[in-house]
Every structure is written in C-alpha cells, then in structure tokens.
Amino acid sequence: MDNLTEKALYKALKSGQPEAFNALYYKYHKKLFAFIYKFLKNWHDTEDLVQKVFVIIWEKKENIDLNKSFNNYIFIIARNEVYDFLKKKALMDYCDDYALSNIKQTEEGIETKRIVETIYSLIKKLPERRRQIFLLNRDHGLTYKQIAVRLNISENTVDTQIRNALNFLRGELPRYLKVMVLFLIDTII
C-alpha cells in the first residue's frame, strides 16, 4: 500500500481495505498528534482523541470525497473533536466546581447549625430571668430600654443580666466547641 498514490490510497480506504487505513494511520498519526496536543497539552487525552479521529474516519469511510483533500478532511474532524472535547471538559470542570462548592457550603451550613445549636443549649443553662432578658435582646431585637419597660426592671439590671449571659457563653462555648472538634476528628479518623 505504501507505493499507492494519495488518491488511490483514499479510494482503497473508501472501499474498506484495512491496509489502506493502516497506511493512512501511520502517515497521519504524528501530525495529528502534534496538532491536537497544541490544544490539549495532555498526552493521554491527545492520544485518546487521535484514536477517536481515526475511528470516525473508519466509520465514515464511505463519505470520503475523493475530489477533496484528505489532509483537510482529517484535520477538520480533529479540530471538531478538539472543540467538542474542550466544551465537555469545561462543562465537567464547571459541574465539579459547582458540586464541590455546594458540598463545602453544605458542610459550612452543618457546622454553623451545630454551633448555633450549641449556643442555644448553653443559653438554656442560664437562669430563667437572665435567659429571658438575653433572648428578648438577641432573638427579638429589643433594646435595653424596651426590655426594662416590658419586664418592669431597670436598664442597669438588663445590662448586667446580658453581660453575665455573654460572659457565661464566652466561658463555656470554647469548651463545647473543643469537644465538638475532638468528636469530629475522632469520627473522621
């Protein structure tokens, strides 16, 4: 097959002769590899795409126009396959990034939820009146004056009770978080 003219080789390929396909494979493989590698910069992906181009050529051998350049034909197929590959890769990268960011957000949301639950479990340990004052301020957004009027106490009492609640939370929260972190580490390892 090596001594056939280009046109005779393409004609033999079109008629389904495997020897013609092999001759064209050896003739174009290196050029095609270099062409595709310029775009992909990855040896394995390039080799896969080169193989795919030759599979397409074999599958569509009956469609080869003997009056047109085979060189152009093969490189147009290669170019189209590179574009398709890059589009799919970009989509997959986007989907991976999106999925990872959602997982990260979910993990952050779970951690935030755990911390909030821990804070509220500590708030439940406050004396009843202190807890009521603290929650009126933090959960309901009432000012010290509004709380004082509602509960018929002085603003200084409100201030003292909220300060005591915050001091308790600041003292207890690190211990609870440390226990949570140690628990998470134990479950992961």
Query: Which domains can be identified in the chain, with CATH numbers?
Result: 6-95 (1.10.1740.10), 124-188 (1.10.10.10)
122, 171 contact by CB (below 8 A): no
At what angle are helices 144-151 and 128-138 packed, to 10 degrees? 140
Q: Which residue carries 């639950």 as its tokens?
A: 117
Element containing residue 39 per DSSP (H, E): helix 18-40
134, 126 contact by CB (below 8 A): yes
Return the pLDDT at 189.
Answer: 42
Tens digit of each residue's pLDDT (9 = 90 or more) over 48-84: 999 999 999 999 888 888 788 888 889 999 999 999 8
Mean pLDDT of 4-11: 79
134, 162 contact by CB (below 8 A): yes
> Which residue, 8, 50, 59, 47, is CA-closest to 28?
50
Tens digit of each residue's pLDDT (9 = 90 or more) over 31-47: 999 999 999 888 998 99
